[in-house]
């Protein structure tokens, strides 16, 4: 390492280039993003993307845009050289995707870079070659109008950065995500993506956003989306905020956490205000639901600052309140079916930015020991249901003596052997809100049937034996977003153990021939989306075990089973309680939520002042 003497110096150009490249070029997907945005700004109608070895060996982006002259092509390699702003005033009203003039020189400084370009009014183009920031060659070239950029051997001169790249499939998934985002943002542009010589996507220019959504995600997701009506700008007011796109229908039976795509003036971006508004606008009864959403927010360029993040991922609004109100109003109208919502006008003068208070969502409990206060006392291994109040003989039943409340600790572990929660029980009723009330040998118990069914299904799926399958009469074809498809693809072996019969069926598409018998009536597309999201959440923690993926899948399927309708009669409720009684851990769901609340007879007598 070079010794430091405390003096300030101007960095050499090659060092400054590598530092600046770190702001723009994080991985191959970053290269794709910057080059695609340049192509869109150039007016391209078709953009072709190709990568090899996850983008390490090659990233290629070709467009049919306006192209560049020889002088402009050479100038594009200079820092802060851009055609998109002229003076400081233009920064206040940026309406292009790229404007800093950093992408091309940053990429060229850490790769073997080739730029081939031609304008429509010339007969020949220009080809420029750069090796790790050093100009190698400039020649004339025969090429179609537009621009082709080929980036080979990314980070060839920065081995420390190169070794931090992930596996090929991981980098490919990041590229697919960038591709999906920009294809959604610009449905009128045709896109194609090739990976290792195999064409994965070919999307023709679409007449409407719905056509592009259908191509990318399939009709299963499209059928569950509600349109967000942008309304009409009042009196042609250009200062209004309009919101359009799609939001997933509230689904009480299958809560999932799906991808959300947000665009501000056509730019993939977000902000705390947007996240807060989308969370608040969706029905709260969904709990920790994250619905699929494709939301376009449009407002005057001078009302949004896109220059607050090096990669332009986050934006800042001059009037946060107007944006939040517009988003919430539009989503609430879409979900409730109330129709057109007029855009919200930005306040003039603009208000100071508000930082919304984010609600803290507690982390999902892991399989850790927990303590349950006043559980029903342990009893023998048998668990007998006695006739309910409605069908029992009229003779009074002598109550059994109730022991004092006791504090019991146990581990939330499927392998544990907890005692049965009661010796006998009698079904009493089911409340209007769906809770099951039962009388036991020691008091009254309120059971949450959804949490109980989730525990029952999880323990069945977690057993060593393979789960029974139900063959579908007609195989179901499920198309998933690229990231979700990659997770499902990696988990096909575990899915087979759970009772699925699944095989790949094209680009990010799967054919489902059988599903676990437990969820025979559930939508495979919805279940796969839930599994993919849960796998994404669990991948970081890894749950500390070799079977973490299998456990996460079991929990996902159990959630799907818990959300399905069940017979809300005495027989159905009694069956749930009997199956819960046979569980090894009947007190909490796999996600750590309580299944039952116990009130002892002694506690009831005390509260009612009975002897």
Q: 229 or 337, which is more confident?
A: 229
pTM for the full model?
0.65
Residue reference for tokens 């153990």: 497
Number of domains forming the structure of the chain: 3
Q: Rounded distance, CA 469 to CA 325, Å?
A: 48
The sheet carrying 384-386 orders its strands as 384-386, 424-430, 436-440, 443-447, 596-600
| 249-287: burial string, b at 16+ Cβ within 10 Å, e else | ebeeebbbbbbbbbbbbbbbbbbbbbebbbbebbeeeee
Question: Domain containing 510: what range?
Answer: 362-393+400-611
Question: Is 44 inside any structural domain?
Answer: yes
Q: Say what the pLDDT of residue 301 is.
A: 84
pLDDT in tens, 392-428: 443 444 444 443 433 333 333 433 334 568 888 899 9
Question: Domain check: are 56 and 137 in the same one?
Answer: yes
Which of 232-236, 263-267, 594-598 is predicted least confidently? 232-236
| In a shared domain, residues 387 and 420 | yes
523 pLDDT higher than 90: no
For residue 315, give every residue at least 6 positions away whose Cβ sits within 8 Å of its Cβ, in sequence order, or none: 264, 267, 269, 270, 271, 304, 305, 306, 308, 309
- Mean pLDDT, the chain, rounded, equals 78
Give the residue, 117 or 379, on which the prediction is more confident. Answer: 117
Q: Is residue 352 part of a domain?
A: no
For residues 452 and 382, state if they share a domain.
Answer: yes
**Average pLDDT over every residue of 157-185:** 91
133 belongs to a structural domain? yes
As to burial, measured by CB atoms within 10 angstroms (0-12 exposed, 13-18 middle, 19+ buried), residue 207 is exposed
> What pLDDT, in 10s, does the model give residues 190-242?
999 999 999 989 999 999 999 999 999 888 788 889 999 876 444 445 458 99
Share of the chain above pLDDT 70, in %: 72
pLDDT at 573 > cutoff 80: yes
Measured in residues, the chain has a length of 611
List pLDDT tens digits, range 25-70: 889 999 999 999 999 989 999 999 999 999 999 999 999 999 999 9
Q: For position 280, which CATH number holds?
A: 3.30.230.10
Residue 145 placed within a domain: yes
For 489-519, write each residue's pLDDT tens digit: 888 988 988 889 999 987 789 999 999 888 8
Task: Please state the rounded mean pLDDT for residues 137-154.
Answer: 96
Residue 357 has pLDDT above 70, yes or no: no
Residue 365's pLDDT is what?
36
pLDDT score for 284: 67
Same domain for 372 and 325, yes or no, is no
């Amino acid at each position: 390492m070079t010794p430091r003497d405390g003096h300030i110096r101007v960095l050499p150009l090659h060092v400054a280039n590598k530092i600046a490249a770190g702001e723009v070029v994080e991985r191959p997907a970053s290269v794709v993003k910057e080059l695609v945005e340049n192509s869109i700004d150039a007016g391209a109608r078709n953009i072709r993307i190709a990568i090899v070895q996850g983008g390490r060996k090659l990233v290629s982006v070709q467009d049919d845009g306006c192209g560049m002259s020889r002088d402009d092509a050479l100038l594009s390699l200079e820092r802060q050289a851009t055609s998109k702003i002229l003076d400081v005033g233009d920064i206040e009203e940026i309406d292009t995707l790229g404007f800093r003039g950093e992408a091309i020189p940053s990429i060229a400084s850490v790769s073997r870079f080739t730029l081939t370009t031609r304008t429509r009014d010339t007969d020949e183009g220009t080809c420029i070659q750069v090796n790790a920031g050093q100009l190698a060659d400039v020649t004339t070239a025969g090429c179609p109008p537009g621009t082709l950029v080929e980036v080979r051997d990314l980070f060839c001169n920065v081995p420390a950065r190169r070794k931090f790249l992930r596996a090929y499939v991981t980098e490919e998934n990041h590229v697919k995500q960038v591709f999906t985002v920009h294809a959604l943002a610009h449905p009128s542009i045709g896109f194609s993506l090739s990976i290792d010589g195999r064409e994965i996507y070919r999307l023709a220019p679409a007449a409407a956003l719905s056509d592009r959504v259908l191509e990318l995600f399939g009709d299963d997701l499209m059928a569950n989306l509600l349109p967000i009506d942008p309304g009409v700008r009042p009196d042609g007011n250009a200062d209004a905020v309009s919101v359009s796109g799609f939001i997933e229908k509230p689904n009480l039976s299958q809560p999932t956490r799906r991808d959300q795509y947000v665009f501000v003036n056509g730019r993939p971006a977000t902000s705390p205000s947007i996240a807060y508004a989308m969370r608040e606008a969706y029905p709260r009864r969904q709990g920790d639901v994250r619905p699929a959403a494709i939301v376009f927010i449009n407002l005057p360029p001078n009302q949004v600052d896109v220059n607050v993040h090096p990669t332009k991922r986050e934006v800042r609004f001059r009037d946060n309140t107007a944006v939040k109100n517009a988003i919430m109003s539009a989503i609430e109208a879409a979900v409730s079916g109330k129709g057109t919502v007029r855009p919200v006008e930005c306040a003039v003068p603009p208000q100071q930015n508000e930082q919304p208070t984010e609600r803290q969502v507690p982390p999902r409990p892991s399989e850790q020991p927990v303590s349950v206060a006043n559980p029903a006392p342990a009893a023998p291994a048998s668990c007998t249901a006695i006739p309910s109040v409605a069908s029992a003989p009229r003779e009074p039943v002598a109550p059994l003596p109730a022991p004092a409340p006791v504090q019991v600790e146990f581990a939330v572990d499927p392998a544990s052997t907890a005692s049965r929660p009661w010796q006998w029980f009698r079904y009493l009723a089911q409340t209007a809100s769906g809770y099951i009330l039962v009388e036991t040998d020691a008091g009254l118990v309120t059971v949450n049937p959804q949490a109980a069914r989730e525990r029952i299904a999880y323990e069945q799926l977690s057993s060593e034996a393979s789960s029974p399958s139900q063959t579908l009469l007609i195989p179901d074809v499920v198309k998933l977003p690229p990231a979700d498809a990659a997770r499902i693809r990696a988990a096909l072996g575990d899915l087979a153990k759970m009772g699925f019969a699944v095989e790949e069926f094209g680009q990010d598409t799967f054919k489902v021939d059988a599903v676990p018998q437990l969820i025979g009536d559930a939508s495979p597309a919805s279940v796969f989306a839930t599994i993919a999201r849960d796998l994404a959440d669990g991948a970081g923690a890894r749950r500390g075990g070799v079977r973490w993926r299998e456990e996460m899948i079991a929990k996902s399927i159990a959630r799907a089973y818990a959300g399905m309708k069940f017979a809300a009669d005495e027989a159905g409720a009694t069956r749930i309680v009997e199956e819960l009684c046979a569980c090894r851990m009947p007190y909490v769901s796999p996600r750590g939520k309580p299944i039952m609340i116990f009130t002892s007879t002694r506690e009831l007598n005390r509260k009612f002042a009975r002897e």
